[in-house]
Amino acid sequence: MIRVVLPTHLRKLAQVGGEVQLEVPGRATQRSVLDALEAAYPVLRGTLRDQVTLQRRPFIRFFASEQDLSNELPDAQLPDAVARGAEPLLVVGAMAGG
């Protein structure tokens, strides 16, 4: 099971509390986790990545194992601790402004 922590506004949209646990077939990658997340919670389609290009939205960041994974390739393997479910994949809504 892959554990995912969503920002508060997306938890409210998906009507979930705390962590989301997902069964991800095959390798644990950003793409496979987001595919599983959007399949389980269709209301999240288009919130984390563009529905057509599947590119990460500019103000969404992904973190795991104390690393910013936001600019990694979507098919790059996630850290082993995330793949094993020992650590969650954190989805963070970045802030802009001055």
pLDDT one-digit tens code per residue, 19-40: 999 999 899 999 999 999 999 9
Q: How many helices (H) and strands (E) does the chain have?
A: 3, 5
Our CA dihedral for 23, 24, 29, 33, rounded to 10 degrees, sits at -60
Q: For 39-51, what is each residue's pLDDT tens digit?
A: 999 999 999 999 8
Q: Which residues pair with 5 in a beta bridge?
A: 19, 90
Domain 2-93 is found in CATH 3.10.20.30: yes
The answer to whether the Cα torsion of 70, 74, 80, 86 is positive or negative is positive
Question: What global pTM score does this model have?
Answer: 0.90
Where exactly are the structural domains of the chain? 2-93
